[in-house]
Amino acid sequence: MTPGPRDRLQHTDSMSVGPSRLKSMSSTDSTQDTDTARRGATVAIAGDWHANTSWAIRSLRHLHSLGVREVFQLGDFGIWPGQKGIDYLDALQDLLEELGMRVVVTPGNHEDYYQIAQLPLEDQDDQEAHAGFESLGAVMWARERIALLPRGHRFTRRGWSFVSLGGAPSVDFEHRITGQSWWIEEMITDDDVAAVVAGEAADVMLTHDSPEPWHSTDMVAKIIQTPLGRSAEVLAYAAEGRRRLDEAFQAVKPRVLAHGHYHVTDSKRIQIEGCDHETLVVATECDQMPDANLGLLHLPDEQTEGQEPRVEWVPLPPVTTGVDRSQLGVWPEKPVWVWETEEFLRVFDEGRSAHWNQLIAEAAEEPTGAWVHRMAEALEQSKNPRVGEFMASRAGGLLPDPPEDRRDH
C-alpha cells in the first residue's frame, strides 16, 4: 500500500508548497519573448490563485487588455467551501461575463473536491456564453464561464492537442482537517494515469504537480530534494504523486508542460526517453508574485514548420490609485531595494513561503545591495518562528551576519 495521509485533527492556513524563485527568466530561454508576438496569443496560463479575488480580477483585466479570451489556470484556483468560495466564484463570473472571457481550471490540491464531485459533466459549447471559443467538450462548470477539467480531459486549440491532469499531494496535510481544508481526492490515482496513458500523445500538458526531479525544472528539483524536516509519510505521499504524474507525462510526450504548485518561476527543456523532440517544462508563480504568475501561450499555426508552442511571461502592472491595497497581500508595491526595515518585517511576520522565496531570489541577484542588510535586520526582529528556519535553510549564506552586539539576543 502506498503511504498516505490519514484523517487529521488540526488546521492551519492555506499555505502550499513554495520554495525558491528567480527574478526573471534567462534572456536566452525560449519562453521569454518580446512584445512583438503578443497579438498572436489569445490564450494564457496562470499559476495558483488561492481564491484571491483582487489578484484574479487584476490578472483577468490585464490579460483582456492583451487580447486574451481564455485562461488555462493551473490549480489551487480557489474552489473553496463556505461563503468565501462562493463570493470568489461569483465575483469572477461577473467579470468574465463583462469581458467576454472564460477560465478553464486544471484543479490543484487545495480545492474542495467534495464540491467538485457534485458538478455534472456538461457540454456547453453550444451555449451563447461560449460563442467564439473553440470546443471544450463535456467538463464541469463551477459557474457559466468557469470550467473545471476532469483528469485526463483532452481538447484542441488551433490544431494543437491538450491534455489536463490536475491534482497533487499536499505536503501540509498533517495540519489540515479532512473535508474542511484537506480532501483525499487531491491525489492522482492509478486509474487517472491509465486513462491519460491510453490517450497517448498530446502537444500541451496542463498539470498542477511537477514530474519527477529528472524531468522537472532545476528550481523545482531543488525544492523536491529539500525535505525541510517533513515526515517520512509526507515525503512518501508527495513522491507517489510525482511518480504517477511522471508516468503519464512520459506517455503523453508533450511539447510543453505547464504546472503550478511550487510557487516558483522556472523553465527547462528536457528530453523524454524515446521522444523525438524536447519538452519545455514551465513552472509558474502564485498570486501576489507579479512577475510570472501569468503567461501568454503562443500557439503558432500547426502547418508552420519548425514552430513550437511557447510561453511568454506577462508581468502584472503595478497597482494604480483607486485600488484597495489592503486586498493585495503583504508584498509592498515598490522595488525591494527601497524597502525600509519595517516593510521586510511585515513580509516576514505576515507573509508566506512564496514571499520569502522572492526575497531570497532578489538577494541572490544583488547580494551586495544595502537593502540586504535591512532585510537581515528585519529577520532578526521577526517574531515568526517559521521564517527563521525557512530562510536559514534556503538563503545559503546570502544574508549578512547580524552585528556583534546583537548575536546573543
Q: How many domains does the chain have?
A: 2
Which positions of the chain have pLDDT values less than 70?
1-41, 302-305, 319-329, 396, 401-409
Q: 302 and 335: one domain? A: no
Per-residue model confidence as pLDDT tens digits over 213-255? 999 999 999 999 987 778 999 999 999 999 999 999 999 999 9
- Neighbour-count burial of 33, counting CB atoms closer than 10 A to its CB (0-12 exposed, 13-18 middle, 19+ buried): middle
pLDDT of residue 303: 60
Range of the domain at 271: 35-313
Looking at residue 108, which CATH number applies to its domain? 3.60.21.10
Q: 285 and 355: one domain? A: no
- Quick check: 47 and 260 in contact, CB under 8 A? yes
pLDDT of residue 362: 77
**What contacts 217, CB < 8 A, 6 or more positions away?**
210, 264, 266, 267, 268, 281, 282, 283
pLDDT of residue 319: 65
Per-residue model confidence as pLDDT tens digits over 131-172? 999 999 999 999 999 999 999 999 999 999 999 999 999 998
Q: 251 and 182: one domain? A: yes
pTM metric for this prediction:
0.76
Q: 204 and 282: one domain? A: yes
Does residue 78 lie within any of the structural domains? yes
